[in-house]
Amino acid sequence: MTLQTQQDSAGLADATSSNEALRRFLHGLPGVDQVGAEARAAQLATRSIKTTAKQFAIDLAIRMVDLTTLEGQDTPGKVRAICAKAMRPDPSDAGAPPVAAVCVYGDMAAVAKQALRDSGVHVACVATAFPSGRSALPVKLADTRNAVAAGADEIDMVIDRGAFLSGRYLQVFEEIVAVREACGDAHLKVIFETGELQTYDNVRRASWLAMMAGGHFIKTSTGKTQPAATLPVTLVMLEAVRDFRAMTGQMVGVKPAGGIKTTKDAIKYLVMVNEVAGAAWLDPDCFRFGASTLLNDLLMQRTKISTGYYAGPDYFTLD
């Protein structure tokens, strides 16, 4: 990285003093080599993970899942069912670890909190006019406060892509700062919707912007648009959190979301986390999967390893 000139926290503080300064900083970040990033991601994806390493990866991936239901048709009953599954993913095997969090809309936070209680599984809520983020700041803040008051431990906010893409970086920055303040003790995940950011350079800029604004996690997508999470996009974000720690000492987490459906995919991501960011990120506090169908596939693979024969979807919950 050629960030030497900007490498100290004081420099970062200066960078956010005005829109012009922020623009200069973000556009001063080295460009992403698109072909290189894609080739690196593809190369890491070929690594073969077997036997005990695979067992470890599957259990880790289960612990990293943010079990998500974000449908207009969600009911309290469905949220309670998801919560039960989150706490005990495989009813036939007590050894299967619980997932990291349940991710729901704000109005379901209270239901989820009541179901999960002190199980250790967090309640994550999407807020700030999810998924488009097109609303006035007071509305977004009220949305966030409501979710936190209802018991959310984590807030998944979306950035205003319109403002970001038209270069109003300071507006995006200040919105994230304001939402972070509204979160109180709750952790903040910042969703970029990388499918709408057009370039890897923009992904890198958005990552730095969100990290400087104090986001605890940076997250690829809402899961509502295509393409959602991809390996190269996640690679760029993992590089950003690695460099941010090198500069400031702070660990920021990464959460790819949307389109990760199989154990094979999940393991590819874990390999990349280990190789790009480092083993420190192989922890549910620093890396999450936003997913719903992924969990069943992880459980089926887990069952295959423990029983020795292939499992079928008939024996796992529909969700």
Binding site for another protein (CB under 8 A): 308-315
Output the smallest distance, CB 55 to another protein, in A.
18
Tokens 């079928």 correspond to what residue?
312
Query: Which residues on adjacent β-strands are paired with residue 102?
Result: 67, 123
Which residue lies nearer to another protein by CB, 185 or 314? 314
Say whether 219 is catalytic.
Answer: yes
Output the smallest distance, CB 209 to another protein, in A.
41
Which residue lies nearer to another protein by CB, 141 or 311? 311
Query: Which residues on adjacent β-strands are paired with residue 318?
Result: none
Which residue lies nearer to another protein by CB, 275 or 319? 319
Which is catalytic among the residues 85, 113, 189, 219?
219
Output the smallest distance, CB 224 to another protein, in A.
25
Which is catalytic among the residues 85, 113, 140, 255?
255
Return phi, psi of residue 104, to 5°.
Answer: -135, 175
Output the smallest distance, CB 316 to another protein, in A.
10
- Spatial contact of 286 and 254, defined as CB atoms under 8 Å apart: yes
Which residue lies nearer to another protein by CB, 225 or 262? 262
Which residue lies nearer to another protein by CB, 309 or 318? 309
Which is catalytic among the residues 66, 143, 153, 156?
156
- Spatial contact of 316 and 299, defined as CB atoms under 8 Å apart: yes
Output the smallest distance, CB 300 to another protein, in A.
9
Which residue lies nearer to another protein by CB, 90 or 160? 90
Output the smallest distance, CB 134 to another protein, in A.
37
Q: How far is CA 313 from CA 39, 82, 310, 318, 319, in A?
A: 34, 17, 10, 8, 11
- Spatial contact of 101 and 83, defined as CB atoms under 8 Å apart: no
- Just list the catalytic residues: 156, 219, 255
